[in-house]
């Protein structure tokens, strides 16, 4: 499949931005394939997802290094009976374990319902309807967050919180349900600090994107059927746009709200359904 460099860059930018902006990257890739006329390629889409993985790892590199180090130290705490105490004293230990725990629901759902979720990617109507659902999640979580005065910090966060956010991520495997939107919304519904809800969402995306890429690894060899220049251009575009989207979201969620994204989903979702019937 030939893909022009321009189309590749456009798709890369869309993937990078919408992976971390709460508007569903999978939905927008479905729409962009329809708009540009570029045939969907699992190999190329996987390359774009790996690009966003590079972006989030680059942005949170220091946190990730601390988390890995703290995780292995926490394993040493177990035989000494200091595990629980260690989690309270070292927040990176806690964050590392919560990311692992929060990743379990999506891992299970991805394995058990893989064929079902993949079938939804060719259903534009389902994608549009799920995008409307994302809008309601964003709106509802904002209303809830405004009513919670005493927000939960990382020190107060518990296993139940991480599991609920993880379950939200599992539902977001469906195209149209934004992964970042669902997980951030779940965090806000739980009363997490706004910055923490976004930070945990983005860190939780690392094993999710990595797991999806590993499952699709067998298809990555077909990337050689695509123009090399196009593949590289899309990959780089997704890294840059993804990095900028993370930076933007972390600042926005602390200073403003997510309602504009809810309105966006309520416009694009119905529009996709209407245009599908018309065209």
Half-sphere exposure of 36 (CA within 13 A, CB side): 21
Contacts of 251 (CB under 8 A, 6+ apart): none
DSSP string, the chain: ----HHHHHHHHHHHHHHHHTTT-HHHHHHHHHHHH-PPP-HHHHHHHHHHHHHHHHHHTHHHHHHHHHHHHHHHHHTTTT-HHHHHHH-HHHHHHHHHHHHHHHHHHHHHHTHHHHHHHTT-HHHHHHHHHHHHHHHHHHHHHHHH--S-B-TTT--HHHHHHHHHHHHHTTSTTS-HHHHHHHHHHHTTB-HHHHHHHHHHHHHHHHHHHHHHTGGGGGGGGGS-HHHHHHHHHHHHHHHHHHHHHHHHHHHHS-SHHHHHHHHHHHHHHHHHHHH-
pLDDT at 199: 96
Q: What percent of the chain has pLDDT over 70?
A: 92
Confidence of residue 123 (pLDDT cuts 50, 70, 90): confident
Q: 100, 68 in Cβ contact below 8 A?
A: no
Give the domain ranges of the chain: 5-278
CB neighbourhood size of 78 (10 A): 10
Q: Which of 53-57, 90-94, 102-106 has the lowest mean pLDDT?
A: 90-94
Distance CA 164, CA 276 (A): 34
Is the confidence at residue 187, as pLDDT, over 80?
yes
Does the pTM exceed 0.85? yes
Q: Is the pLDDT of residue 64 over 60?
A: yes
- Is it the case that residue 118 has pLDDT exceeding 80? no
Q: Are 62 and 56 in contact (CB under 8 A)?
A: no
> Distances in Å between the alpha carbon of 243 and those of 1, 74, 247?
28, 30, 6
- Mean pLDDT, rounded, for 183-188: 97
3-state secondary structure 117-145: HHHHCCCHHHHHHHHHHHHHHHHHHHHHH
| Distance in angstroms (rounded) separating the CA atoms of residues 204 and 170 | 11
86-91 mean pLDDT? 77
Given pLDDT bands bounded at 50, 70 and 90, which one contains residue 158?
very high
Buried b (16+ CB within 10 A) or exposed e, 102-117: bbbbbeebbeeeeeee
Q: What is the mean pLDDT of residues 82-89?
A: 73
212 in Cβ contact with 190 (< 8 Å): no
């Amino acid at each position: 499949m030939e893909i022009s460099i321009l189309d590749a860059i456009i798709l890369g930018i869309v993937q990078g931005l919408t992976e971390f902006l709460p508007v569903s990257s999978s939905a927008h890739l479905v729409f962009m394939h329809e708009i540009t006329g570029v045939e969907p390629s699992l190999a190329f889409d996987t390359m774009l997802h790996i690009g966003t993985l590079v972006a989030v790892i680059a942005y949170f590199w220091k946190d990730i290094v601390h988390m890995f180090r703290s995780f292995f130290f926490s394993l040493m705490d177990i035989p000494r009976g200091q595990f629980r105490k260690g989690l309270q004293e070292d927040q990176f230990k806690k964050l590392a374990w919560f990311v692992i725990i929060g990743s379990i629901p999506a891992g299970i759902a991805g394995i058990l319902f893989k064929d079902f979720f993949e079938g939804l990617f060719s259903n534009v109507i389902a994608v549009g309807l799920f995008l409307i659902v994302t809008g309601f999640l964003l709106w509802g979580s904002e209303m809830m967050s405004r009513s919670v005065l005493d927000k939960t910090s990382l020190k107060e966060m518990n296993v139940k919180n991480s599991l609920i956010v993880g379950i939200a991520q599992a539902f977001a495997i469906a195209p149209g349900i934004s992964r970042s939107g669902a997980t951030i919304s779940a965090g806000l519904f739980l009363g997490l600090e706004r910055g923490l809800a976004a930070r945990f969402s983005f860190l939780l995306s690392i094993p999710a994107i990595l797991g999806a890429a590993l499952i699709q690894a067998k298809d990555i060899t077909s990337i050689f059927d695509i123009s090399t220049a196009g593949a590289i251009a899309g990959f780089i575009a997704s890294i840059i746009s993804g990095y900028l989207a993370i930076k933007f979201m972390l600042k926005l969620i602390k200073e403003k709200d997510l309602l504009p994204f809810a309105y966006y989903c309520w416009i694009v979702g119905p529009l996709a359904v209407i245009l599908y019937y018309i065209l």
